[in-house]
Amino acid sequence: MSKSSLYPDSRFADPAEGGAKRSPQLHIGNWLGVLPFFVFSGLFLIAPTLILAYRSFEGLNGGQTLDNYRLLTSPAVINSYGMSIRISLTTAILGGLFGFLIAWAVSLGGLPRPFRTTSTTFSGVASNFAGVPLAAAFVFTLGRVGVVTALFEVFGVNLYKSGFSLYSFTGLTLVYLFFQIPLMVLVMLPALDGLKRDWLEAAENLGATPGQYWRHVALPVLMPSILGTMILLFGNSFGAHATAYALTGGLFPLATLLIGQQISGDVLHNPGLGYAVAMGMVIIMAFSILIYSILQRRSERWLG
């Protein structure tokens, strides 16, 4: 039953309600539909995660222990989680904002069609341009001997003396956005295509300004997609480590760097702790999805 009289179209019907009307004999059939996904994920995602969980209880001298989890409450680990969350939130929000603007520009903004194709394909490549090549590219650009730094100097501005540094939180955010923004663009385009032209026209006919159209029609419709894509950006940044390591050499305590130190490094070697930190990340991710689901349900509720 639609809650908004403006849009009696069935597309806004609450999907959950529709389920109850389904004929009973399809109950098992429902599960068959998602079985391939669960089997495949079980084999290649869930099983390794369970191994991860199992080994997070491994002590330094073999045997099972809770020490690793106790260490999770140490300031160093908490700090790293905090930093990871901080950079992930920042780049998710900024990446979401700028990515949305660009996606809008190439789809609804009236730019010629080739701009959109170029942006799509470029975003595909750029979204995976990370790690050492990306850090290097920004060092080439904004490092102490970077091209843009030199350009500023031509105009008499010394970036680094004015307090800017690529090797800071700001710098890292700037670098992360290089793959966050294209991700947002690429994944939001299908959603933006779903904005019906007649809604804009209907809104205009009713005397709405573009601002009102966006505030009351377009953004609410897009909000579930925006939120969903932003959680993707959050996860993407949360799990990144190669870029941060290359750029800041471990100056910033990030959870992923911590894991790398314990599992892969040449200095520390407490794999159990590394796995426990990774499990902590899984839990944080689950928690984020919970928050996101609540927000999403709220945003979908508007749609009737």
Which residues from 26-85 bind another protein, rule CB under 8 A?
A: 27-28, 30-31, 33-52, 54-55, 62, 76, 79, 83
Nearer to another protein by Cβ, of 93 and 196: the residue is 196
In this structure, what token pair is assigned to residue 1? 């039953």
Question: What 3-state DSSP class applies to 1?
Answer: coil
Task: Indicate which single residue of 162, 198, 205, 211 sits in contact with another protein (rule: CB under 8 A).
Answer: 198
With CB under 8 A as the contact rule, which of the stretches 64-72, 89-97, 108-116, 211-219 interacts with another protein? 108-116
Residue 100 in contact with residue 237, Cβ under 8 Å?
no
How far apart, in Å, do the first and last CA atoms of the chain sit?
7
With CB under 8 A as the contact rule, which of the stretches 64-72, 89-97, 167-175, 211-219 interacts with another protein? 167-175
Candidates 151, 128, 150; CA nearest to 240 is 128
State the nearest-atom distance from the C-beta of 156 to another protein, in Å: 19
Task: Indicate which single residue of 3, 269, 298, 301 sits in contact with another protein (rule: CB under 8 A).
Answer: 269
State the nearest-atom distance from the C-beta of 206 to another protein, in Å: 17
Contacts of 292 (CB under 8 A, 6+ apart): 227, 228, 231
Quick note: the x/- pattern for another protein over 123-162, rule CB under 8 A, is xxxxxxx--xxxxxxxxxx-xxxxxx-----------x--
Nearer to another protein by Cβ, of 203 and 224: the residue is 224
Give bridge partners of residue 264 from the DSSP assignment: none
Phi, psi of 207 (to 5 degrees): 90, 15
Candidates 41, 36, 100; CA nearest to 228 is 100
Quick note: the x/- pattern for another protein over 244-263, rule CB under 8 A, is -xxxxxxxxx--xx-xxxxx
State the nearest-atom distance from the C-beta of 5 to another protein, in Å: 18
Q: How many other β-carbons are positioned within 10 Å of the β-carbon of residue 161? A: 8
